[in-house]
Structure formats: structure tokens, C-alpha cells
């Protein structure tokens, strides 16, 4: 039986949902029951999509950027109209609670709005020339068809971060979504592509290819027709992307894992900190790349803060993500549950104390109780050096800010970080060159829930890429420096006289 949301969102009759040999089942993580079978695209379908995108680029690159922005404005309106059913599909297929699912679609709306304004602000510079009667400037041109690979945990927003910016920059986008959440991709693509075509965009501006890594993913990485590959996923996946794309001297925009820490100082507002920790650690059942995974609390307040957190964890409602009372939905699959249990077993073997949670719930679906683990002071704790994509919060006790910053930075990832303090000196130190080494560093707000206006991404094994706001748009364009001689002489730079 076809789920009503697929009918509402207009994909119930998509040929890929007819099932049959080779179809991949997409699973509701709340029940572990199949929602639909999706027939995967093959290499031929991928090549056809790239050729359509190449043809679209020839037209789209010469469309004035504000006209491109008008197309994206229409896309944003379409997403607004369907924000509730699309958000509920995110909850159904990915497992986010309904408020977070709708919030994710709102993020897509917001980046569309941002991109509309950006379409009139693709600025270059005028640069002083050292030569008489010369003018030097730079301008930004469309780059070409973009390959976009997204992960299961943000099946709408991350594509939108890339696609809305790429569209106003003049680039078509070929999207390879996670095979865990293909329905969200199909619904999002249909809404946005239909709106774009109705607004006069060329066919091929947005292409969706749902395929296996071996058949489609590797082909995309090695494809010289795609000057940029934007990839979101694990550090392991990102290393493969960087290796293959780098070998052909293409561009790779990587947004990979995070092992995010929150520092709480003795002078912090503990009520504010506790609220931020709970959302950061258990929101999306710990499956955000910005999830708070390590708490570094100063010794004067750590016991009281932990008591607050244990009480809050005990009151968190776990269940159906479409139920408005639910705060914690399921993990994405049984393998994620197993990974969480394995990490907790390792933590116990190292002397860690599980203060609350850490149970696999005996019910249909992939439900667990979020866990807090107290780490023995001064002991190496390698399990906390790795990102386990599950709701585990490791609590470390620190003497002061120096120790906290060293612990925070002492992991391979560098995505998001936060400090809670009422000291201006501590806050500024945390934000200084000797402070947080992450791409995101917050004061008195949590590690999770970034706004679209700022560039999103991180350092070290997080990949170094930046998506979304600020000047992240430059990744989707090529810079060109121009010098114009409006005189009758031909002086050379650096005062060189030749001949």
C-alpha cells in the first residue's frame, strides 16, 4: 500500500517506485517496516543525467544571475507550500521528530531566500594596477555541472545548501542521495525541479540519480565533466572522495564527521548550559554531525551539572517521531544500535560509568535510551576520540580552560565547539587563535543548530569545506582576473623593459 505522504508529495507514481528485481527497500526506522521499494539508477542513467546537465549549463550560465535568483525564489515558495508533508516524510524515513523534520525543510526555504539575495551580490573586485592607463579587476563565472553527494541525516537541507547556491551561481546539480533516504530526495527533487521548470529554467538544471556507490558514486567522483564534487558523510567516505577527485585535479567540497565538545566553566549559567547540552546531545537521536559528544566541565560545577542532565535525560520521551510529544526518535538502523552498544561496552571496559541510558529498547524499530558516560579523570579514553553516530555524551572533568581547550582540540575532527562562561576573558580566549580549532566556535549556545547565514564546515578530518552562507558561494564559481589596457603603450609589470 502506498503511503499517503508519497501521494501528497506527488511521487507515488514515480517509475522508480514500481518495485521489482533490484529494488532497494527504504525502511521506516520507527518500525523497521518497508515504506517502498526503489529501483536504482545505473551507469547509463547517470551518464544521461550528466549530459542533460551539461546542455542545461550552456543556457543557464548566460542567464543573468538575478533571473536565476527568480527561479530559486519560486523554488522557495514551493517548499513553503509543502513544508509540513515534506517535513513529515523526513520524520517517517529518517526518524527525526516532526519539529526537526519541518525545521529541516525550513532550512531549505531559508537557503533559497539567502540565494535569491545572493543572486544580486556575486561581487568581484576592482584592483589598482601598477601600470599607467590600465584597469585590473576580478569577476566570478559559473563553474559547470556540480556533483552533490548527501548523507541520510539531512536528506533535504544539505542538498538545498548546495543546489540553491549553485543554481544562482549558474551551475546545474546532479544529486546522488543516500540510499537510506531516497524518498526524501525524490520528493524534494520533484518539488524543486517542477518549480524551476515552471519558472523557465532549462531541463537538466536539477538531476537526481539514485544509485549504488560502485555503479554511480565512483563514476561521479572520477567524472571530469563535473569540476566540483560536494560530499557530506563520514571521514572515511571523504578521504575516498578527496583521493579520487584530487587525482583528476577536480575540486572537492567536503563536510565530514564531527566529535564536538562543549566546555562549561565554573562561572557559567548552568540552566542555560544544561538546556543546550540536552538538545545538542540527544536531538536527532545523536545523528547530527554537530551533535554534542563530549562535555568538558570544570571541577567546581561538574557534579551538579551532571545531576541536572541525568534528570533531564530521564524525562525525555522516546517514541514515534510523528507524535508531537516525542523528543527522541529512533536511530536510523540496527547497525547504528549495535555501534552504540559496542561503544558503551568499550567505555565500561575503560572504567567509564554509564550514569543514565544506554539501553536498546525492546520494541519495534531502532530505539535506544540516550546515554551519559562519566569518564575517569586523567585516564586515556580512546572511544571518545572517535565519532559514534548515536546519543552518547562523554563527561570529562577539567581543572580550567587550558585543559579544556587541549582536550577539545585533541581529536581528529574539527567541526563544532562551544564554551559556556560569563567571563569575557574566557570567551575571547576560546575564540582566539590558541582557542578552538573548529570551523564553528560558539559562546553560550550549543554545538548544534547552525544558522544558514554563516559558512558551515570544519577543519582537520572534517574536510575543510564550507557550505551554506557567508562567501561559501565562491566554491561554485571560477574566479577570473582581468586587466584592461586603455592606453597606447604596452608597459610590462614589475617595470620590465623588453626589446
Q: Annotated catalytic sites, by residue? A: 255, 289
Radius of gyration of the chain (CA): 24
Nearest C-alpha neighbor of 316 from the set 395, 391, 416? 391
Tell me the pairing of strands 455-456 and 467-468: antiparallel
Is the CB of residue 405 less than 8 Å from the CB of residue 263? yes
What single-letter DSSP state applies at residue 176? E
CA 271/CA 309 separation, integer angstroms: 10
C-alpha cell at 347: 567505555
Within 8 A by CB and 6+ apart from 383, the residues are 343, 346, 347, 350, 352, 394
Q: 12: burial class by Cβ within 10 Å (0-12, 13-18, 19+)?
A: middle
| Strand ranges (E), 312-461 | 353-356, 371-374, 392-398, 413-414, 416-420, 440-443, 455-456, 459-460
CA 221/CA 231 separation, integer angstroms: 10
Contacts 24+ apart (CB under 8 A), 15-18: 15/39, 16/41, 16/186, 16/210, 17/186
CA 354/CA 313 separation, integer angstroms: 12
Half-sphere exposure of 218 (CA within 13 A, CB side): 4
Is the CB of residue 394 less than 8 Å from the CB of residue 293? yes
Is the CB of residue 341 less than 8 Å from the CB of residue 369? no
Residues in the chain: 499
Return the number of other C-beta atoms located less than 10 Å from residue 39's C-beta. 17
Is the CB of residue 381 less than 8 Å from the CB of residue 295? no
The CA-CA-CA angle for residues 239, 479, 416, to 5°, reads 40
Within 8 A by CB and 6+ apart from 24, the residues are 37, 38, 40, 179, 182
What single-letter DSSP state applies at residue 390? S
Contacts 24+ apart (CB under 8 A), 80-83: 80/109, 82/8, 82/9, 82/191, 83/109
**Residue the block writes with cell 541525568:** 310
C-alpha cell at 155: 536528506
Amino acid at each position: 500500500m502506498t503511503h499517503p505522504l508519497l501521494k501528497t508529495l506527488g511521487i507515488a507514481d514515480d517509475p522508480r517506485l514500481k518495485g521489482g528485481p533490484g529494488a532497494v527497500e527504504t525502511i521506516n526506522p520507527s518500525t523497521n517496516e518497508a515504506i517502498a521499494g526503489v529501483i536504482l539508477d545505473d551507469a547509463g542513467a547517470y551518464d544521461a543525467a550528466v549530459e542533460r546537465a551539461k546542455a542545461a549549463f550552456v543556457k543557464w550560465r548566460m542567464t543573468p544571475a538575478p533571473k536565476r535568483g527568480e527561479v530559486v525564489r519560486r523554488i522557495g515558495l514551493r517548499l513553503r507550500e509543502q513544508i509540513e508533508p515534506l517535513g513529515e516524510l523526513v520524520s517517517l524515513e529518517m526518524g527525526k521528530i516532526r519539529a526537526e523534520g519541518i525545521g529541516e525543510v525550513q532550512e531549505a526555504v531559508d537557503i533559497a531566500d539567502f540565494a535569491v539575495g545572493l543572486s544580486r551580490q556575486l561581487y568581484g573586485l576592482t584592483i589598482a594596477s601598477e601600470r599607467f592607463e590600465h584597469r585590473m579587476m576580478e569577476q566570478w563565472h559559473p563553474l559547470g555541472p556540480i556533483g552533490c553527494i548527501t548523507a541520510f541525516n539531512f536528506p533535504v537541507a544539505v542538498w538545498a545548501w548546495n543546489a540553491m547556491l549553485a543554481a544562482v551561481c549558474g551551475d546545474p546539480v546532479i544529486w546522488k542521495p543516500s540510499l537510506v533516504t531516497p524518498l526524501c530526495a525524490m520528493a524534494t527533487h520533484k518539488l524543486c525541479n517542477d518549480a524551476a521548470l515552471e519558472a523557465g529554467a532549462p531541463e537538466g538544471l536539477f538531476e537526481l540519480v539514485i544509485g549504488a556507490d560502485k555503479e554511480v558514486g565512483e563514476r561521479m567522483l572520477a567524472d571530469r565533466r563535473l569540476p566540483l564534487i560536494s560530499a557530506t558523510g563520514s571521514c572515511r567516505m571523504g578521504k575516498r572522495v578527496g583521493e579520487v577527485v584530487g587525482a583528476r585535479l577536480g575540486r572537492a567540497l567536503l563536510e565530514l564527521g564531527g566529535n564536538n565538545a562543549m566546555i562549561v566553566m565554573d562561572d557559567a549559567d548552568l540552566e542555560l548550559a544544561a538546556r543546550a547540552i540536552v538538545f545538542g546531545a540527544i536531538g536527532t537521536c545523536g545523528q547530527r554531525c554537530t551533535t554534542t559528544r563530549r562535555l568538558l566541565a570544570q571541577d567546581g560545577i561538574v557534579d551538579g551539572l551532571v545531576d541536572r542532565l541525568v534528570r533531564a535525560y530521564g524525562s525525555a520521551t522516546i517514541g514515534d517521531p510523528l507524535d508531537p510529544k516525542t523528543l527522541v526518535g529512533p536511530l536510523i538502523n540496527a547497525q547504528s544500535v549495535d555501534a552504540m552498544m559496542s561503544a558503551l561496552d568499550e567505555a565500561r571496559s575503560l572504567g567509564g560509568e554509564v550514569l543514565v541510558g544506554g539501553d536498546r529498547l525492546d520494541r519495534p524499530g531502532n530505539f535506544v535510551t540516550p546515554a551519559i558516560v562519566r569518564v575517569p579523570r586523567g585516564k586515556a579514553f580512546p572511544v571518545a576520540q572517535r565519532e559514534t553516530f548515536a546519543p552518547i555524551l562523554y563527561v570529562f572533568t577539567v581543572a580550567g580552560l587550558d585543559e579544556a581547550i587541549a582536550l577539545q582540540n585533541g581529536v581528529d575532527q574539527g567541526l563544532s565547539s562551544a564554551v559556556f562562561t560569563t567571563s569575557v576573558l574566557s570567551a575571547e580566549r576560546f575564540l582566539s587563535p590558541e582557542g578552538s580549532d573548529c570551523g564553528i566556535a560558539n559562546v553560550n549556545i550549543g554545538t548544534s543548530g547552525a544558522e544558514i547565514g554563516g559558512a558551515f564546515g570544519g577543519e582537520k578530518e572534517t574536510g575543510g569545506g564550507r557550505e551554506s552562507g557567508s562567501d561559501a558561494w565562491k566554491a561554485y564559481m571560477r574566479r577570473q582576473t582581468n586587466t584592461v589596457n586603455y592606453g597606447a603603450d604596452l608597459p610590462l609589470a614589475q617595470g620590465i623593459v623588453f626589446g
